[in-house]
C-alpha cells in the first residue's frame, strides 16, 4: 500500500490533437444534415506528450484520524437550540397556534427556543429535562450544585445537569421512589403543575376540591398543589373540562404555564 503521507511521483500522457485535422473535421460537419457519409476516413494520428507530476494527498479529507474518533460530545435528546439563535417570527409552525404570543414572549425572554429546522413543535411533548431547563432559565436559577444524587445521574444530559442541581436545591424537583430522575421521560401535566407550585412556594395543604371532570384521576401527591395553582388562576383544563393529569404536557402548555408563573414571582 502506498504511503499517502508522502508525495507520489507519476507520469501522465497528454493527447494533443492536430489543429489542422480539427479544422478539417469542423468544416465537414457544417455540410447538410440530410447528406449521409458514404465512407469513413481514418483519423490522423494524435500527438502524445508525457509529463512528470508529484501528487500530494490531504489525508485529513478522508475523515478523522482514529485517535480523534469519539471525542465529540453526542447531541442530547432533542434539546432545542440555544436561546437567541432563531427569532420567533422565523418559526414556521406557530403562526396560527393558540399559544403564538406566549411562545414569542418566552423566546424573547430567553426561556425557550425553536429547533434547528425552524420549527417550535408547540404540540410536541416535553421531557423532564427540558421543562427543568425552562424553569431554570425563567427563574434565572444560580449557584453551584453538588454532585447529583439520582440513581440515574449518569444518564442526565450534561447540558441540563447544573440546572437540575439548582432546581433540586430550590425544592422544585425531586426523584421518583426509586431515586431516579428520568431526564428523558415525558413530563405529565400533574408534574409540571407541582413543579410550578413548588417554584412559587404555594401551600401544599389546600383542601379545595377540584371541579375537573377527571378530578379523581389526579394523583394524591399532586392534588393539593394542583388545587393551589388552580385557585391562583394559573391552570386551566383542556376540552370538556378535563385536566388530563396523566397526559404528557405539550411545549405550548409548558411555555404558557411558566409565563403565568412569572406573573406571580415575588
Please, which pLDDT band fits residue 34 given cuts at 50, 70 and 90? very low
Residue 231 covered by a domain: yes
Can you give the pLDDT at residue 237? Answer: 86
Same domain for 95 and 17: no
Judge if 177 and 207 occupy the same domain: yes
Per-residue confidence (pLDDT) for residue 51, from 0 to 100: 64
Nearest to 261 by CA among 228, 225, 238, 229: 229
Among residues 134, 85, 84, 139, which one has the least CA distance to residue 108?
Answer: 84
pTM over 0.75: no
For residue 26, is pLDDT > 80?
A: no
Q: What is the pLDDT of residues 58-105, one digit of tens each?
A: 545 444 433 333 322 333 344 555 444 446 667 899 999 999 999 999
Kindly state whether residues 23 and 107 are assigned to the same domain. no
E-strand ranges in 3-85 read 8-16, 47-55
- Same domain for 68 and 147, yes or no, is no
Per-residue model confidence as pLDDT tens digits over 187-241: 999 999 999 999 999 988 777 889 999 999 999 999 999 999 999 888 888 889 9
Output the pLDDT for position 208: 81
Q: Residue 237, SS3?
A: coil
66: which 3 cell numbers?
482514529
**pLDDT, position 130:** 96
Is 79 inside any structural domain? no
Tens digit of each residue's pLDDT (9 = 90 or more) over 133-190? 999 999 999 877 668 999 999 999 999 999 999 999 999 999 999 999 999 999 999 9
Whole-Å CA distances, 14 to 10, 20, 25, 26, 115: 13, 18, 21, 22, 53
Q: What is the DSSP letter of 209?
A: P
The conformation of residue 14, written as its DSSP 8-state character, comes to: E
Q: What is the pLDDT of residue 21?
A: 54
- pLDDT computed for residue 209 by the predictor: 87
Output DSSP code: residue 229.
H
Q: Are residues 61 and 98 in the same domain?
A: no
Query: Do 55 and 132 reside in the same domain of the chain?
Result: no
Residue-number span of the structural domain to which 4 is assigned: 1-27+44-72
- Tell me what percent of the residues of the chain surpass a pLDDT of 70: 65
Residue 38 lies in a domain: no
Same domain? 137 vs 209: yes
* Residue in the block written with cell 415575588: 266
Per residue in 69-78, pLDDT (tens digit) is: 332 233 334 4
d(CA 167, CA 176): 15
10 and 128 part of one domain: no
What domain count does the chain have? Answer: 2
CB contact set of 97 (below 8 Å; sequence gap of 6+): 103, 122, 123, 252
**Shared-domain flag, residues 121 and 20:** no
Amino acid at each position: 500500500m502506498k504511503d499517502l503521507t508522502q508525495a507520489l511521483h507519476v507520469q501522465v500522457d497528454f493527447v494533443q490533437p492536430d489543429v489542422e485535422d480539427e479544422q478539417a473535421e469542423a468544416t465537414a460537419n457544417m455540410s447538410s444534415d440530410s447528406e449521409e457519409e458514404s465512407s469513413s476516413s481514418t483519423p490522423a494520428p494524435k500527438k502524445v506528450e508525457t509529463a512528470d507530476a508529484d501528487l500530494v494527498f490531504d489525508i485529513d479529507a478522508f475523515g478523522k484520524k482514529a485517535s480523534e474518533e469519539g471525542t465529540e460530545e453526542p447531541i442530547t435528546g432533542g434539546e432545542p437550540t440555544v436561546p437567541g439563535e432563531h427569532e420567533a417570527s422565523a418559526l414556521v409552525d406557530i403562526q396560527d397556534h393558540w399559544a403564538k404570543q406566549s411562545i414569542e414572549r418566552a423566546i424573547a425572554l430567553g426561556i425557550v427556543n425553536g429547533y434547528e429546522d425552524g420549527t417550535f413543535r408547540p404540540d410536541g411533548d416535553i421531557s423532564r429535562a427540558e421543562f427543568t431547563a425552562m424553569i431554570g432559565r425563567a427563574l434565572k436559577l444560580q449557584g453551584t450544585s453538588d454532585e447529583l444524587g439520582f440513581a440515574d445521574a449518569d444518564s442526565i444530559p450534561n447540558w441540563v445537569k447544573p440546572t437540575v442541581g439548582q432546581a433540586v436545591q430550590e425544592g422544585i424537583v425531586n426523584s421518583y421512589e426509586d431515586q431516579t430522575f428520568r431526564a428523558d421521560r415525558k413530563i405529565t401535566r400533574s408534574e409540571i403543575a407541582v413543579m410550578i407550585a413548588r417554584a412559587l412556594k404555594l401551600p401544599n395543604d389546600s383542601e379545595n376540591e377540584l371541579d375537573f371532570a377527571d378530578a379523581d384521576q389526579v394523583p394524591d401527591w399532586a392534588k393539593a398543589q394542583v388545587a393551589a395553582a388552580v385557585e391562583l388562576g394559573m391552570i386551566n383544563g383542556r376540552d370538556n373540562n378535563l385536566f388530563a393529569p396523566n397526559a404528557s404536557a405539550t411545549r405550548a402548555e409548558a411555555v404558557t404555564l411558566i409565563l403565568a408563573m412569572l406573573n406571580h414571582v415575588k
